[in-house]
């Protein structure tokens, strides 16, 4: 059984690494070959553009890092959050939770690297319906974090997993500490 848990955690670590790598590769592509930093906007579809933005804050632009001290505080706080998510992921056994946490971790690592290297996070994905923008401009890391949080919340609200403690005694239905008398 612990082999399955180890495999699940390795899958989670691989997914987190993949998210971080894909996030960084796409950011490199939009800033490098597409030259989005200079052209600022590329119209792709009637509802989706690439629009260059430097996000010096965190979610929804809050807590803007306008000086070096604030920048490094944001790096430290987001790194601490990523470390907590990593520990949480390594303690989980179920693939659903591990996948959600892996998406959060991978997204956090992608954005932490930007903030560490550049002092801001590169955002470029601009979804809109006419002038209405249901989201701020975002990136793959932001999308992964959001999807991961939705998975964790949905599983905590909607999925009831069997209590592992009931299967430890072999009875499957007796509460922990109680046994069946035959």
User: Each residue of 125-136: pLDDT tens digit?
Assistant: 999 998 888 888
169 — pLDDT class (breaks 50, 70, 90): very low
* Per-residue pLDDT at 173: 44
How many other CB atoms are there within 10 angstroms of residue 114's CB atom?
Answer: 21
Catalytic-residue membership of 67? no
Q: Please tell me the total number of residues recorded for the chain in this structure.
A: 182
- Set 23, 114, 126, 142: catalytic member: 142
Catalytic-residue membership of 123? yes
Question: Which H or E run contains 125?
Answer: strand 121-127
Contact between 121 and 114 (Cβ < 8 Å) = yes
Q: Rounded to whole angstroms, how far apart are CA atoms 51 and 44? A: 10
Residue spans of the domains in the chain: they are 2-160
Q: Rounded to whole angstroms, how far apart are CA atoms 150 and 180? A: 40
- Set 123, 161, 163, 164: catalytic member: 123
Of 66, 75, 37, give the one whose Cα is nearest residue 53: 37
Window from 57-71, 103-117, 135-149, 164-178 with minimum mean pLDDT? 164-178
Helix residue spans in 46-94 (DSSP H): 68-91
Greatest extent of the chain over all pairs of C-alpha atoms, in Å? 78
The pTM of the whole model exceeds 0.85: no
Per-residue pLDDT at 105 exceeds 80: yes
């Amino acid at each position: 059984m612990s082999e399955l848990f180890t495999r699940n955690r390795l899958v989670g670590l691989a997914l987190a690494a993949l998210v971080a790598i894909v996030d960084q590769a796409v950011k490199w592509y939009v800033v490098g070959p597409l030259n989005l930093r200079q052209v600022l906007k590329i119209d792709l579809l009637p509802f989706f553009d690439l629009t260059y933005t430097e996000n010096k804050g965190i979610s929804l632009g809050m807590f803007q890092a306008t000086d070096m001290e604030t920048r490094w505080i944001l790096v430290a706080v987001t790194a601490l959050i990523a470390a907590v998510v990593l520990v949480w992921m390594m303690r989980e056994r179920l693939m659903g939770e591990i996948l959600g946490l892996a998406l959060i971790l991978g997204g956090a690592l992608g954005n932490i690297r930007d903030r560490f290297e550049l002092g801001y996070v590169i955002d470029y994905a601009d979804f809109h319906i006419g002038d209405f923008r249901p989201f701020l401009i975002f990136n793959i890391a932001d999308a992964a974090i959001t999807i991961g949080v939705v998975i964790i919340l949905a599983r905590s609200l909607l999925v009831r997993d069997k209590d592992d403690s009931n299967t430890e005694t072999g009875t499957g239905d007796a509460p922990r500490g109680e046994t069946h008398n035959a």
